[in-house]
Amino acid sequence: MSKKTHIDIDYTAKLARIALSDEEKAKYSEQLDSIIGYVEKLEELDTSDVEPTAHPHPVSNVWQEDKVSSELSVQEALKNAPAQRDNMIVVPKVVD
Amino acid sequence: MQELYYKTASELSELLDKKELSAVELTKTVIERTKAVEDRVAAFNSYDEADALKQAEASDLRRAGGKTLGPLDGIPVGIKDVLAVKDQPLTCSSKMLENFVSPYDATCIQKLRSNGAVLWGRLNMDEYAMGSSTENSAFKKTSNPWNLDCVPGGSSGGSAAALAAGEAPLTLGSDTGGSIRQPASYCGVVGLKPTYGRVSRFGLAAFASSLDQVGPMARSVKDAAMLLQGIAGHDERDSTSYRADVPDYLAAMESLKGKKWTLGLPKEYFENVSDESAMKPVQDAIEFYRSLGCEIKEVSLPHTEYAVATYYIIATAEASSNLARYDGIRYTHRAEAFDAKDSVDIYCQSRAEGFGEEVKRRVILGTYVLSSGYYDAYYLKAQKVRTLIRRDFENAFKEVDAILAPTSPSTAFKKGEKTADPLSMYLSDIYTISANLAGIAGLSLPCGYSDGLPVGLQVLGKPFKEEEILAVAQAFESAHDFKNQHPNL
Amino acid sequence: MEYEAVIGLEVHVQIKTESKIFTRCRQGYGYEPNTLVDAVIMGLPGALPVMNKASLDGIIKAGLALNCVIPDYCKWDRKNYFYPDSPNNYQITQYDKPICEGGYVEIELPGENRGVMGEHKKIQLTRIHLENDVGKLNHFSEDSLVDYNRAGSSLMEIVSEPDMHSGEEAFAFLTAIRQTMIYCGISDCDMEKGQMRADANISVRPVGQKELGTKIELKNLNSITGVKNGIDYEIKRQISELKRGKQQVQATWRWNADLGRTELMREKEDAHDYRYFPDPDLMPVEIDDEWRQRLRDEIPELPWDKQRRFMKEYGLPYTITCVLVPDRKLSDWFESAAKQAPKSAQALGNLVANDLLREMGEAGISLDECKITPDSLLTLVRAVEKGVVPKNVANKDVFPEMFKTGETADQVIERKGLKPDFDEGQVRAWCQEAIDENPRPVEDFRSGNDKALNALLGPVMKKSRGKANPQLVQKLIRELLG
C-alpha cells in the first residue's frame, strides 16, 4: 500500500465533480486523512490467498429474456428535468 | 386502554377484520396523531392526506365486498424517503432531489399496494441514507420521541421516530450499515434488516449496492414479520435478488415457539464496553434466554475490529459511483450559476449546492479509494477482508443458531454531539456493520432502558433464516412489556 | 527516411436485440426523442440493471465467428466518468474479464485488378467486450440537447491489436467484420444509424524501428470510406510533420469528412481516471461448452469460406463471387438453384449477379419481394441449354418478364411467341445452304482456321431472322463439315 498521508483534495474533488471552497478543502483534507489513516489498519491482515467478495450471496447468469416490457412516456421521463426543449434535456453546449 | 394510534398493526388488522374499525377511521387517527406531534418529532418530510384517505377508502370497499387482500389491507405504512412511490416525492432528504417526483414504484411499494397497505408519508432520514443520527437531512432534524433533545438514530431516523410517536403503525426503512437497527434501538421499536437479497432493491435509491437492504420497522416482532411478509420475495428487476420462495413467517415462528436455541455471544462485542449502563439491559436479556433453557455460548468473530474500515471503503466507493447520477442534468437540482462554457462546471456547482456535507465527504472518500493507483490497496483489499468477515459468521453459525449482541454501543445521543467528528460517528456502527458486510439478517428489539432511553438487543441470524431471529426475538418480547411502553409526548 | 504506419482499431457494433442490454425497454432507431426510455435508461434513483440474455448470445456468437476464445467466466465493471449523454455517469462495461479474448479477422487486400483475388491476411484481435451505449447529443449554437433513445443499447467493442498499416487494411478490416456480423444476424452494422462506429489509434515510425511512434487517436470515422480516407490522411499528415522534424504529441484528432482533413480535438489532458470497479448490481456470467456449442451451431458458413467454395465447387469467376457472397441471402438464393444444376452454375451466377440485381435495382425491391424463384431461374437456363431460345433473347426478353410476373421461362417463351417457328431440321437445312453459298470460309475452316466458322454463322442467323440458337448452329455446321 502506498503510504499517502495527504489526500490530493483538488484532484479528487474534481474527479468527483464537486466544487469545494478553500475552507471545505482544508476541512475535508484533515478529516479524510484521519479516516484514511484509520482504514489503513487493513494492511495488518495478510489477504494474499483470500478471494474478494463482490456479492454477499454470489450466483451467476441472472438475466431476462429479450422481450420489451418496460417503458416510461416521454412526459414522465422528463417531468423532473431542470431544463428541456423539444422533448430533450437542455445542457450547456458540449464541445466534444 | 391503549390509544388506537399505539396499537400494533396485528391488533389493528384484527379490528379491521372484525369490522370494529374501518381503514378510513384508522388512517384519520394516524393523520390526526401525526398533526398533533409532528411539530416536536419532525419524522416526516411530506405526507399526502388525501392520497392516504383515498387508499383507505379503497381498502374499506374491498373489505365490504369480501375481497380483502390480507393482513396489511388498510394498515398505513410510512415510507422512508429513499423508496420510489409513483407520483409522490422522493427526496432522499437531499436538496438535490427536493422537487423530484417519482414516475415509478419500487418493487416493495408495488408489493405493499398489492397487499392493500395504505402508503403513508415520506419519512425523514440522513441524506442518501448516510449517517447515524438523521442530522444529515437537508430538511429537518427529527427528534427522538423519548427525549426530544436526542437524535432518533439513523439513517432511518424518521421511520423509527414515527413508530415511537404513534405516527404510523408500520414503517419501511433501509439498512446499509445499521440504518434500520440502530434507530430502532434508539427509539425503542423493532427493526429488521433482512438477508441481502431477500427484499428487492428495485426502487431503493442506492447508497451502497452490495450492502443496502430494505426492511420492516414496527412496534412488535409479529408486526415486523407481517410487514416483511408483504415485501419479501424474488424480483426479476433486481439481479441480486434471492431466487427462492418466502416462508410463511408467522406460521414458521409459531412452529419455532419454545425452541431451546443455541445462542452465541461474540466475545469481541463484549470487550471494551464504553457505556456499561447501556449494556446492562442486554446482559439481562441474555440471562433471560439462559433462563428459558437456551444454551448461551461464547463465539469469536475475529475480524470485527476491521469491519468499520472495510465498510467505509466499500460503502463510500460504491456510493461515489451510485451518486454520480445526481448531476444537475436530467432530474436533479441544477445550479443556476454555472459557467456555461465549461460543461464540467454544471456538475461541480450543482453537486456542491445539492449535496450536504456528509454526502460530499463520503463521495470524495469513495472517489479517492477507487482512483488510479489506490484500487488494489483499498477497494480490493476491503473486498478480501469482507470475505474474512463473512467466514467469521459462517464459522460462528456452525456452532450457534443465532448471535446476541448490543445493537449500539450507547443509547441515543444528544443532537449535535457527534457531528464534528465523523470518525467517532462511524465507529458507533461497530455492532451493526458486520451483518451488512456478511449479508446476513439482523434485528433489533427493545430490551430495556438506560437513563430513560431505550436500549436495543440485536439478534443476528443465518442467511435467509429471518423466521429464526424473529422467533428468538418473540420469545423475549412475549415475556416482557416493552412493546406497550411509549414515550410521553 | 522511410516511414510506416501502425494502426489499431476499436470498432463498436450494436447487437440487434428487441430490448436494451440492461432493461426491457425497446432498442431502436428513428424514434421520437426520449421515447425509448425507462427508469433504468434515465438513471432514476432506485433503478437497477438486469442483463439481456440475447445480448450475451450475440456477442458470444460474434466472438466465435471471429475466432476468439470464450472464457468460462466474465463479469461487469463500472467505468466512471461524467458526460451528459451517460445517464448514470458510469458505463457498464467489462474491464479485466471480457467475454471474448484474442481472435482474428481475415481480410482481403485489393488485387492487381478487380478481376483478381487479392492477398488475404489475419488481423489479430485483443478482445471483444460488451457494454451499454450512451445517448446522443444534438448541438445547437447556444446549447446542446440530449436524447437518451440510444442510451443502454447493446454495444460490443471489438479491439484490434496494432496490426494494420494503411487505410486500405482498416477498410478491409471493417468490411470483413461488417459482413461477418450481417451473415450471423448479430447486427445490421448500418453506420448511418450508428450501429457500427470506429475509432483508430494511429502512430508512425521509421521503417525498421521496433518501438511504436506517438499514438494519435482518430475519432469521427462515420463511414467505411471515412475510415479509409481519414486514416490515410492522418498517416500522411504525421509523416510529413515527422519529416519536417516535428514530433507528435499524444492527442485526439477528428476526421472532418466535409473538408477532407483531420483536426485536433484535444491534447491528452490529465490521463483519464475511470475508477473501474466490479458493478455490484450485476452478477457475473458463466459460460459452459453447451452454451458455446449451441451458438457455434447457429453460425452459418462465413463469407470467405463461401467464396472459396463457390469458386472451387461451381467454378464461378472471382468477380461473380464478389457480387454474390457479401449478400448472404443472395448467395443462398443462387446456391439453391446451382445445387440442382452444378454444371449450369456459371450461367446461373451470371443471371443472378447481373440480370437479377439489375432488375431488383430498377424495381427498387429486395430479394424477399422478388416474384422470381431459384427454381424458375433454372427453367431459363435449361431452355437456353436445350436451344429453345438463344442466350441474348433469354437475357433480354425472357428474364425481365419472369422477374415481373413470376412465370417460368417456358411460360414466358410460350406467351410471347419467342419460341422459334422452325425445328432443328430447318436449322440444319439453313446450315447446309450457308455452306453451299460460302465456299471460301468452308475452305478456310477445313484448312484449320476455326474462326472461319463465324463467317458461316452470320448467314444462318440471317435466314432464321435471328431466332436460331447460335450454339446449336455452330454444332450443326461442325457436324456438316465434319
Amino acid at site C431: C
Range with the poorest average pLDDT among B6-15, B377-386, C244-253: C244-253
**If you average pLDDT over residues C50-75, what whole number do you get?**
98
Asked if B360's CB is within 8 angstroms of A56's CB, the reply is: no
Asked if C46's CB is within 8 angstroms of B320's CB, the reply is: no
B320: closest chain A residue by CA = A16
Instruction: Give how far Cα C322 sits from Cα of B468, C8, C104, C110, C327, Å.
Output: 71, 26, 22, 12, 9
Q: Report d(CA C278, CA C282) in Å as an integer.
A: 9
**If you average pLDDT over residues B168-188, what whole number do you get?**
98
Closest-CA residue to C204 (of C169, C243, C172): C243
Chains that touch A (3 or more CB pairs under 8 A): B, C
Longest dimension (CA), chain C: 98
Give me the DSSP letters along B312-345: HHHHHHHHHHHGGG-SSSSSS---SS--TT-HHH
Task: Give percent above pLDDT 90 in chain B.
Answer: 92
B436: closest chain A residue by CA = A56
| pLDDT tens, position by position, B233-269 | 999 999 999 998 999 999 999 999 999 999 999 999 9
Is residue C103 a contact partner of residue C70, using CB atoms and an 8 Å limit?
A: no
Res. C268 pLDDT band, cuts 50 70 90:
low
pLDDT of residue C271: 63
Amino acid at site B257: K
Instruction: Give how far Cα C64 sits from Cα of C10, C67, C103, C296, Å.
Output: 18, 5, 8, 7
Is the predicted pLDDT of residue B27 greater than 80, yes or no? Answer: yes
Res. A47 pLDDT band, cuts 50 70 90:
very high
| Pairing state between β C216-221 and C251-256 | parallel
Give me the DSSP letters along B67-124: ---STTTT-EEEEETTB--TTSB--TT-GGGTT-B-SS--HHHHHHHHTT-EEEEEEP
Asked if C18's CB is within 8 angstroms of A61's CB, the reply is: no
| pLDDT tens, position by position, C388-438 | 888 888 888 899 999 999 999 999 988 887 777 677 888 888 899 989 998
Whether B80 is a known active-site residue: answer yes
Based on DSSP, count helices (H) and strands (E) in chain A, helices before strands: 3, 3
Is the predicted pLDDT of residue B271 greater than 90, yes or no? Answer: no
Whether B93 is a known active-site residue: answer no
pLDDT of residue C270: 55
Q: Report d(CA B17, CA A17) in Å as an integer.
A: 54
Is residue C165 a contact partner of residue C149, using CB atoms and an 8 Å limit?
A: no
Mutate to test the interface with B, among A33, A38, A57, A63 (most CBs of B within 10 A): A57
> What is the SS3 assignment for B249?
helix
CA dihedral angle for residue C120, residue C121, residue C127, residue C133, rounded to 10 degrees: -50
Is the predicted pLDDT of residue C256 greater than 80, yes or no? Answer: yes
Is residue B443 a contact partner of residue B469, using CB atoms and an 8 Å limit?
A: yes
Q: Report d(CA B357, CA A67) in Å as an integer.
A: 43
Asked if C275's CB is within 8 angstroms of A15's CB, the reply is: yes
Class of residue C28 by CB neighbours under 10 A (exposed 0-12, middle 13-18, buried 19+) = middle
DSSP bridge pairs for C219: C254
C47: closest chain A residue by CA = A70
Q: Kindly report whether the peptide bond that precedes residue B155 is cis, defined as omega within 30 degrees of 0.
A: yes
Asked if B325's CB is within 8 angstroms of C277's CB, the reply is: no
The count of residues in chain A is 96
> How many Cβ atoms are within 10 Å of B62's Cβ, its own excluded?
16
Chains that touch C (3 or more CB pairs under 8 A): A, B
**If you average pLDDT over residues B432-445, what whole number do you get?**
98
Asked if C145's CB is within 8 angstroms of A91's CB, the reply is: yes
| Pairing state between β B76-80 and B118-123 | parallel
Provide the shortest C-alpha distance from residue B17 to chain A (in Å). Answer: 37
Q: What grid cell was written down for B121?
A: 408519508
Q: What grid cell was written down for B250?
A: 408467522
B367 lies within 8 A of chain C by CB: yes
Provide the shortest C-alpha distance from residue B398 to chain A (in Å). Answer: 18
**Which residue of the set B137, B179, B408, B444 is catalytic?**
B179
* Residue C344 DSSP label: G
Q: Report d(CA C450, CA C457) in Å as an integer.
A: 12
| Pairing state between β B402-406 and B262-266 | parallel
Is the predicted pLDDT of residue B340 greater than 80, yes or no? Answer: no
B188: left (phi over 0), alpha (psi -120 to 50) or beta: left
Class of residue B259 by CB neighbours under 10 A (exposed 0-12, middle 13-18, buried 19+) = middle
Q: Report d(CA C305, CA C320) in Å as an integer.
A: 15
Mean pLDDT, chain C, whole residue set: 93
Whether B372 is a known active-site residue: answer no
Asked if A78's CB is within 8 angstroms of C143's CB, the reply is: no
Q: Which residues of B touch C281 (CB under 8 A)?
A: 206, 209, 239-240
**Which residue of the set B7, B59, B80, B143 is catalytic?**
B80
| Pairing state between β B262-266 and C216-221 | unpaired
Is the predicted pLDDT of residue B459 greater than 60, yes or no? Answer: yes
pLDDT of residue C453: 85
Q: Which residues of C touch B209 (CB under 8 A)?
A: 280-281
Q: Which among A70, A78, A86 has CB closest to C24?
A: A70
Q: What grid cell was written down for A9?
A: 483534495
Class of residue C113 by CB neighbours under 10 A (exposed 0-12, middle 13-18, buried 19+) = exposed
Q: Which residues of B touch A17 (CB under 8 A)?
A: 324, 327, 344, 347-348, 351
pLDDT of residue C348: 96
Q: Write phi, then psi, for C169 (nearest 5 degrees).
A: -65, -40
pLDDT of residue B209: 98
Amino acid at site B205: A
pLDDT of residue B1: 61
* Residue C202 DSSP label: E
Asked if B390's CB is within 8 angstroms of A53's CB, the reply is: yes
Asked if A38's CB is within 8 angstroms of B423's CB, the reply is: yes
Res. C22 pLDDT band, cuts 50 70 90:
very high
Q: Report d(CA C477, CA C470) in Å as an integer.
A: 10
Range with the poorest average pLDDT among B96-100, B385-389, C471-475: C471-475
Q: Which among B331, B334, B438 has CB closest to A56?
A: B438
pLDDT of residue A96: 53
Closest-CA residue to A70 (of B328, C79, B107, B81): B107
Contacts of C197 (CB under 8 A, 6+ apart): C11, C12, C191, C221, C222
Q: What grid cell was written down for B306?
A: 476491521
**Which residue of the set B13, B59, B155, B241 is catalytic?**
B155
Mean pLDDT, chain B, whole residue set: 96
pLDDT of residue B199: 98
